[in-house]
Chains A and B, each alone.
Chain A
Amino acid sequence: MNIHEYQAKELFEKFGVATPRGKVAGNAAEARAAAAEIGSNIVVKAQVHAGGRGKGTFKNGFKGGVHLVQTPEEAAEIAAQMLGQVLVTHQTGEEGKLVSKVMIADAVDIEKEYYLAILMDRESRSPVIVASTEGGVNIEEVAEHTPDKIFHQVIHPLLGLQPYEIRNICARLGYSGDIAKQFGKLLQGLFKLFMDCDCSMVEVNPLVTTPDGRVLALDAKFDFDDNALYRHPDIAALHDPSEEDPREVEAAKYHLNYIGLDGNIACLVNGAGLAMATMDIIKHCGGEPANFLDVGGGASQEQVRNAFKIILGDPKVKAILVNIFGGIMDCDVIAKGIVAACQEVDLNIPLVVRLEGNNVAAGKETLANSSVPLISADTLADAAAKAVRAISV
């Protein structure tokens, strides 16, 4: 799960991570009041979960999701141009994202930009701190061209962040004296935040030093472990469903694992690995998958029904491929679920069904005897080929 920049700032303040003063605003009046509190040198930032905001363009023609202003009036004016408008950046896709909040923050003078992140590293099974003197840019590019400018510090999972580890990072970033002291406090706060909130990643890019001798986290990107949200209701509450594909939000309600893609052959599969493999074979046969959809290793009739509704809500979908390996599940139960769903949703596109496993003969008979005009397939390859053929005629 991701959160907005203003929400990240609130978390930083809670954990003592130094960051420029800032406030969130939902309308022009709030923006004016927030800017008046901060004074001059104000930055107005559109709040969407996407990078490249500064270079983005609003659909109303207004340029830039990040603006520098000097007065509360200007802040209100800019906020009014952004709020309620759709911002398109290189990360949002053509459809863009609706801006319903802006952040009004102190535009600090920057002496130098750095990069700082903490992430859960699967190889070392530990948190790893990543730091670089090359901040404010795409870190993947730094990693590719000048990997020696990126420093990794693996932290012991049980012992936590040690003072010597902070000194190591300071040495690599060239911090000493008061700056090192401030950075140490910032990093300790950030590490505590990472651990206490079950983050899988927190990225501060850039981390900056200022001419007046401060170290500040200027922008942050968070990723939280979805599996741990049950013990962080305050963080789960920061979830903004308007930032997500509405089909994915709908699917989550029914405990379906759904990811929308750009193709036109929808798939409905039980199990994540098999679902990925089904997408792969559609592509292998020359088709394009419209989605990843895992109804769970032991799908119920009800889940199959809801999955069909979500798939058919996507106007791009021109055919459906159902691939169920009924290990423990009875294939006949699944077959009945498919038939019931098709009758209810008034299916009008080709449906290819491949059932395998427990009680498969009865399942196939149920499908054959139903009035649903489906195409039956025996193997995964057969199913994919039939689905691709169904849309090409």
Chain B
Amino acid sequence: MAILVDENTKILVQGITGSFGGRHAQLSLDYGTRLVAGVTPGKGGQLFADKVPIFDTVAEAVAATGATVSAIFVPPPFAADAILEAVDAGVDLAVTITEGIPVMDMMRVRAGMLGKKTRLIGPNCPGLVTPGYGEGSHGGCRIGIAPGYIHKRGKVGVVSRSGTLTYEAVWQLTNLGLGQSTCVGIGGDPINGTSHLDILKMFNEDPETEAIIMIGEIGGSAEEEAAAWAKQHCKKPMAAFIAGSSAPPGRRMGHAGAIVSGGKGTAAAKIEALRDAGIEVAGNPSDMGQALVRAMG
């Protein structure tokens, strides 16, 4: 097992004919992921990479191929519509890679998703990877934009708000011989679909996951909520890192969600909450892998 997706999961890509979506769809195919359909309105009937059928609508793609997960690469002005289309088509998981979606759009999308079965991951996220068992973790399920080869199948669950910082953590783990069950990037936007806590609960219940590393950053209180829950309920060793302890208050550090305002969302407060929950906190970003080794004792 792993969480959310495994090597048998069938995925479709919305925005597969765009340069960004197409490039990463190809990389997922190369990784051995079961990419079974693409969706681009007006391009139904064509093929991607000479083998993956393209449909005009998500509903058609799901009906024809049985895909249960959609990876969304649609540009920001059309992304909210694309997410709602995936929700209406009844996919289990909508992973939204798109960066730069207006917050109002995400607010309405989240409100519109209430009571639906679809889980949203992202937006503005690198996606998720359940590594495969082949060389360079080939044969896994890669949804999004993470480099597949840095992974290794194993027992560590990884959850993070960022992209390259997650790769850094995964790479440190892989080099220490610690493989991963699933690596989830939840995204750096202020309103997103899935929180640190949601993923933490899944890792806690997943029999394959034996340890968890959580990478957060300044802004909001998602890390504190996850820490409070972990203190009471988490059965597995945990390590964490919080980026942004040197960031000036009031400035948005790249990610729209990464801002310290009104004295809230500081790295110091988050680190204190994590330590209070018995979580091993990495003192600097070079120490993320080692922190998990210490947590596992």
Contact = CB atoms under 8 A, between A and B. Distances in A.
Nearest to A259: B251
Given A274-B164, A276-B247, A227 B256 contact: yes
Contact of A122 (B168, B217, B220): B220
Interface in A337-357: 356-357
Contacts of B167: 325, 327, 357
Interface in B240-271: 241, 243-248, 251, 253-258, 262-263, 267
B147 to A, nearest CB: 4
A270 B102 contact: no
Contacts, number: 175
B71 interface: no
Interface stretch (A18-26, A56-64, A101-109, A282-290): A282-290
A285 B199 CA distance: 32
Interface string B161-173: 1111111100100
Interface string A120-158: 101101110000000000001001000000000000111
Contact of B254 (A140, A157, A276): A276
Interface in B161-219: 161-168, 171, 188, 190-191, 215, 217-218
B107 A276 contact: no
16 contacts: A120-B190, A123-B221, A126-B111, A140-B263, A227-B100, A227-B103, A231-B77, A271-B164, A272-B163, A272-B255, A278-B285, A281-B285, A284-B284, A327-B145, A328-B147, A357-B171
A325 B171 contact: yes
A156 B163 CA distance: 32
Q: Which 8 A/B pairs are nearest by Cβ-Cβ distance?
A: A273-B162, A272-B254, A271-B164, A273-B165, A381-B286, A228-B102, A327-B147, A277-B285
Interface residues of A, number: 54
Contact of B191 (A125, A158, A257, A358): A125
A381 B101 CA distance: 34
A321 to B, nearest CB: 13
A277 B165 contact: yes
Interface string B118-155: 00000000100000000000000000011101100000
Nearest to A139: B262
A127 B103 CA distance: 11
Contact of A292 (B145, B147, B254, B287): B254
Contacts of A356: 168, 171
B104 interface: yes
Contacts of A230: 76-77
